[in-house]
């Protein structure tokens, strides 16, 4: 399947023929146990290379993992019950007591809490938070015991873009690994592994599934690293993805390349509208020339900049609330990457604001563009701004 394109791989890669009945779609293997050979073949009870028990390996997982490998060029993949389980599936196996990690300041809330509270206090792991978009700051944060650099690109919620290629070199020169949470772009718009990252992580709850009906997470990388992720995090920490949710996510993944093309096209049009709108205080979208790391994004994202925008409108708290309340097609909700547009408001009281660039500290919106038509979304934003009295 080496020379096939993403659209084809998303549909066909990993599929297993149903020899029993000839079903076109893979069955959901709702089984916790598998028959084990009685011919004297030795059985590795904790192994992940044969079907023994569904926490070690299961058939639906294998299909999804193979599809993800085909789309990312990874040698191996492990899927988990949530994006956070996938993140801990990297942090736990690759950090030991006394190790140091460099982590981007702009990151998902669980990543932030894990590295600020739990990992240092419970497991004696040293952490330096840095602006991941500032490559020199990453370099300066390296210590002799640095074992992991973890960055998010694009950053949630700012859409800041880190220079993965240079940071990978910094990590490798220091004898450390680079893990990249690329949830905001999904595995189509950015290819962290091909830029030198050792581990690529996604919350599959977002773009990969895309339909807002299942949680899930994945870790991708070299076989040697994934063996550790599977042995430690999957088998012994146990946050595995159920066969049913695996099947749902596999179905979602089949249309990922098509969805990312639409998300990217609509988001660029909406971002351009916001940029030209007098009611808008600022807008960041990696596809806009005005984005602080647009040149980097242009090199890394190949013309598809995903569907995530952050912006703010001019006006007081009441105007912001009225704007949200007036939106008809766009729902005020957390999560992102769904087929429908979702927006979330970080108001001035949010304790996350100090971690973000200056312009974000007065409050802002994180906007996940769905698959709707761009004219309809722009119309919805316009009427909501007018209703809020800011336009
Ligand atoms: C949502 C998200 C996660 C966590 O994923 P869950 O599936 O909710 O556990 C991790 N990283 C980023 C960037 C996210 O947006």
Give the E-state strand segments of 257-387 in sequence order: 280-284, 308-313, 331-332, 342-346, 364-368
Separation of CA 41 and ligand 1 centre (Å): 41
Residue 327 contacts residue 384 (beta carbons within 8 Å): yes
Looking at residue 135, its pLDDT comes to 98
Give, using CA atoms, the residue closest to atom 4 of ligand 1: 83
Q: Ligand 1, residues 205, 249, 334: which to mutate, most atoms within 8 A of Cβ?
A: 205
Give, using CA atoms, the residue closest to atom 1 of ligand 1: 203
Looking at residue 19, its pLDDT comes to 85
Give the E-state strand segments of 254-374 in sequence order: 280-284, 308-313, 331-332, 342-346, 364-368
Residue 85 contacts residue 239 (beta carbons within 8 Å): yes
Dmax (CA) for the chain in angstroms is 77
SS3 call for 109: helix
Looking at residue 13, its pLDDT comes to 96
Q: Ligand 1, residues 113, 185, 203, 248: which to mutate, most atoms within 8 A of Cβ?
A: 203
Q: Ligand 1, residues 86, 154, 183: which to mutate, most atoms within 8 A of Cβ?
A: 183
Q: Ligand 1, residues 91, 153, 156, 342: which to mutate, most atoms within 8 A of Cβ?
A: 156
Q: Is the dihedral of CA 272, 274, 280, 281 positive or negative?
A: negative
Specify the ligand 1 atom closest to the Cα of 107.
Answer: 13
Residues with CB under 6 A from ligand 1: 82-84, 108, 152, 156, 181, 183-184, 203, 205-206, 215, 217
Looking at residue 17, its pLDDT comes to 81
Q: Which of 310, 286, 285, 319 is nearest to 360 (CA)?
A: 310
Residue 34 contacts residue 53 (beta carbons within 8 Å): yes
Separation of CA 180 and ligand 1 centre (Å): 12
Specify the ligand 1 atom closest to the Cα of 156.
Answer: 13
| Helices (runs of H) and strands (runs of E) counted in the chain | 14, 12
Looking at residue 2, its pLDDT comes to 66
Looking at residue 18, its pLDDT comes to 85
DSSP state of 195: G
Looking at residue 1, its pLDDT comes to 59
Residue pLDDT tens, the chain, 391 long: 568 999 999 999 999 888 889 999 999 999 999 999 899 988 899 999 999 999 999 999 999 999 999 999 999 999 999 999 999 999 999 999 999 999 999 999 999 999 999 999 999 999 999 999 999 999 999 999 999 999 999 999 999 999 999 999 999 999 999 999 999 999 999 999 999 999 999 999 999 999 999 999 999 999 999 999 999 999 999 999 999 999 999 999 999 999 999 999 999 999 999 999 999 999 999 999 999 999 999 999 989 999 999 999 999 999 999 999 999 999 999 999 999 999 999 999 999 999 999 999 999 999 999 999 999 999 999 999 999 999 9
Specify the ligand 1 atom closest to the Cα of 183.
Answer: 13
Looking at residue 200, its pLDDT comes to 98
Separation of CA 197 and ligand 1 centre (Å): 19
Q: pTM higher than 0.85 for the full model?
A: yes
Give, using CA atoms, the residue closest to atom 8 of ligand 1: 83
């Amino acid at each position: 399947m080496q020379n096939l394109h993403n659209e084809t791989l998303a549909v066909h890669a990993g599929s297993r023929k149903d020899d029993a009945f000839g079903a076109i779609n893979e069955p959901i293997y709702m089984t916790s146990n598998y028959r084990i050979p009685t011919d004297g073949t030795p059985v590795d009870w904790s192994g992940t290379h044969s079907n023994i028990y569904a926490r070690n390996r299961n058939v639906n997982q294998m299909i999804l993992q193979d599809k993800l490998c085909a789309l990312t060029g990874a040698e191996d993949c492990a899927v988990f019950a949530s994006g956070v389980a996938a993140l801990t599936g990297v942090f736990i196996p690759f950090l030991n007591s006394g190790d140091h990690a460099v982590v981007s300041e702009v990151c998902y809330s669980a990543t932030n809490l894990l590295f600020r509270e739990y990992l240092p206090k419970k497991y004696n792991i040293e952490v330096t938070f840095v602006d991941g978009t500032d490559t020199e700051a990453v370099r300066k944060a390296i210590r002799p015991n640095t074992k992991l650099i973890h960055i998010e690109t694009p950053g949630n919620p700012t859409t800041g873009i880190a220079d993965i290629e240079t940071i990978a070199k910094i990590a490798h020169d220091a004898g450390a690994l680079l893990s990249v949470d690329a949830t905001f772009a999904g595995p189509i718009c950015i290819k962290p592994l091909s830029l030198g990252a050792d581990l690529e992580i996604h919350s599959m709850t977002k773009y990969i599934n895309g339909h807002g009906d299942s949680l899930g997470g994945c870790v991708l990388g070299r076989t040697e690293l994934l063996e550790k992720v599977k042995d430690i995090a999957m088998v012994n920490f146990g946050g595995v993805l159920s066969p049913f949710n695996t099947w749902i996510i596999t179905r979602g993944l089949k249309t990922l390349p098509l969805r990312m093309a639409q998300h990217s096209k609509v988001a660029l049009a909406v971002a351009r509208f916001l940029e030209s709108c007098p009611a808008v205080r600022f807008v960041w979208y990696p596809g806009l020339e005005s984005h602080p790391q647009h040149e980097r994004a242009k090199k890394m994202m190949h013309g598809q900049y995903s569907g995530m925008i952050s912006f703010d409108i001019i006006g007081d708290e009441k105007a912001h609330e009225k704007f949200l309340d007036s939106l008809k097609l766009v729902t005020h909700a957390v999560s992102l990457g769904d087929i429908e547009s979702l927006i979330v408001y970080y108001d001035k009281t949010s304790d996350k604001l100090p971690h973000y660039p200056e312009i974000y500290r007065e409050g802002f919106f994180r906007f996940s563009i769905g698959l709707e038509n761009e004219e309809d979304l722009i119309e919805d934003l316009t009427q909501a701004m007018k209703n809020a009295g800011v336009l």
